Amino acid sequence: MQLLAFATTPSEEEQGAHGAQRWSVLSVLDRASTGARELLPLGVEWKKRSRGFTLLEILIALALIAILMVAAAPYMADAWKKSPEEEVARSLEDLVAKTRAEAITTGETRFIALDHLSFVPIGWKIEIKRLTDSQFRPLLPEEWWQFHSEGMCDPITLRLIGGREPLVIKFDPITGQIIDNEE
């Protein structure tokens, strides 16, 4: 048990008829001692030193964080999930990059069968607009997309119908990358 002593001098209003009085207060830091507060004169406050959070306070804070995370989890999962349109566009872009790289590496012309794309969801329709077409048209049976050994491809624009909105994907004939997504 540690004892601290400090002295205070009262202000002029607190000085009695006997002149200035000097108070000596012993503060016991042992929390088991309850008599320390009773030794303090009026006007002197008991100051408790805070050394951190209690275990109960930490557990309550963690419980509140957990409740908020559980409430927000369904909304966050939807935000991270890709739409079917985005997945089809990324899969198509990957297939184009792979086919183009294969044509450049082998030095031979390669083709993509547009009517046999396995990553397009069932029930979706693909329409195509080639350089010579004035508007989109349905795919013909056995319609191919050609990639030359230099890496160039036929300039085409595809429209995928079946999602929330039609997805229009235009490809750059030199790089084979998606250059424009229109609605």
pLDDT tens digits along 153-177: 888 999 988 877 888 889 888 888 8
Question: Are both 125 and 140 inside the same structural domain?
Answer: yes
Query: How high is the pLDDT of residue 180?
Result: 62
Question: Are both 13 and 60 inside the same structural domain?
Answer: no
Task: Return the HEC string of 11-50.
Answer: CHHHCECCECCCEEEEEECCCCCCHHHHCCCCCCCCCCCC
Question: Are both 113 and 39 inside the same structural domain?
Answer: no
Query: How high is the pLDDT of residue 25?
Result: 43
Question: Are both 65 and 114 inside the same structural domain?
Answer: no
pTM comes to 0.54
pLDDT tens digits along 68-111: 999 888 887 776 777 788 888 888 889 999 999 999 999 999 99
Total count of domains within the chain: 3
Question: Are both 100 and 162 inside the same structural domain?
Answer: yes
Question: Are both 41 and 106 inside the same structural domain?
Answer: no
Question: Are both 34 and 59 inside the same structural domain?
Answer: no
Host domain of residue 100: 84-182
